[in-house]
């Protein structure tokens, strides 16, 4: 009898006892290839000696210091590392504990920004159907997976959802990728205008959707100046 509230109450889970490179080993010695990195975000493997030693060294020196009151050398160094590799214009990092919290923080930062600059009417969010942004209420509302949202609809904030860049299902006969990109950008622009551009707070989109759309890459029209203009108008 387990007192853990597992994700599936009808499933008997193997007990993981050890990691070995890309494998997880259970109590009976069975080995499972962790091909997707757990929830697709764990990229360091399971037993790398350098990673384990770095964790031990840090815990022996300082395990935790709340960011409301302290900074720390590891945090500052990681922020420097990320910004050195970030796109131009980004110069600060906000650390959180996971993806859902990151989306929640981004939504709140967007709202706070417009409140601070005197545009409190900006409250509307636009995202894509079949997108996945997390399981907390704000992130779930932003996501566009109808099945995941259905039972929680009464609790969710209102978010507009436009078509995803999903060529496998939605690209029309004889439509080029560039033309599809322009069509979808026009759909987004139309939704911005319907809501009123002065009322839109953010457009949230994944460059690559994996969890609910099947690893769909984003299309971007680049064949001519007008196409680039359409996308810039719709997305900025």
Q: Is residue 202 part of a domain?
A: yes
For the segment 184-207, the average pLDDT, to the nearest whole number, is 95
Least confident window among 12-21, 154-163, 209-218, 220-229? 220-229
Domain count, the chain: 3
Handedness of CA 87, 93, 95, 101 (dihedral sign): negative
Render 216-234 in DSSP notation, one character per residue.
EEPP---SSHHHHHHHHHH
**Does 44 share its domain with 139?**
no
Tokens encoding 98: 């996971």
Q: Does residue 112 surpass a pLDDT of 60?
A: yes
Torsion of CA 218, 105, 52, 32, to 10 degrees: -50
**CATH assignment of the domain containing 193:** 3.40.640.10
What band does 145 get if pLDDT is binned at 50, 70 and 90?
Answer: very high
Q: Which residue has the higher pLDDT, 136 or 35?
A: 136
Q: Based on the number of CB atoms within 10 Å of its own CB, is 93 exposed (0-12), middle (13-18) or buried (19 or more)?
A: middle
For 60-100, the pLDDT digits (tens) are 999 999 999 999 999 999 999 999 999 999 999 999 988 89
For the segment 12-36, the average pLDDT, to the nearest whole number, is 94
Tokens encoding 3: 């007192």
Domain ends where: 74, 95, 116?
95
């Amino acid at each position: 009898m387990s007192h853990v509230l597992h994700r599936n109450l009808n499933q008997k889970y193997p007990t993981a006892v050890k990691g070995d490179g890309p494998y997880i080993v259970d109590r009976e010695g069975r080995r499972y290839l962790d091909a997707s990195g757990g929830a697709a975000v764990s990229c360091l493997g399971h037993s790398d000696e350098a990673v384990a030693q770095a964790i031990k060294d840090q815990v022996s020196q300082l395990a935790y210091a709340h960011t409301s009151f302290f900074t720390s050398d590891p945090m500052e160094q990681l922020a420097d590392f990320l910004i050195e590799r970030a796109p131009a214009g980004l110069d600060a990092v906000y650390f959180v504990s996971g993806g859902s919290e990151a989306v929640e923080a981004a939504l709140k930062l967007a709202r706070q920004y417009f409140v601070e600059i005197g545009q409190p009417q900006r409250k509307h969010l636009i995202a894509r159907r079949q997108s996945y942004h997390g399981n907390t209420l704000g992130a779930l509302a932003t996501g566009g997976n109808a099945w995941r949202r259905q039972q929680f609809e009464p609790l969710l904030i209102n978010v507009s959802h436009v078509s995803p860049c999903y060529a496998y299902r939605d690209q029309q006969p004889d439509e080029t990728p560039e033309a599809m990109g322009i069509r979808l950008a026009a759909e987004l622009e139309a939704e911005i205008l319907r809501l009123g551009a002065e009322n839109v707070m953010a457009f949230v989109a994944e460059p690559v959707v994996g969890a609910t759309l099947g690893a769909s890459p984003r299309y971007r029209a680049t064949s001519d100046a007008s196409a680039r203009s359409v996308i810039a108008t719709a997305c900025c």
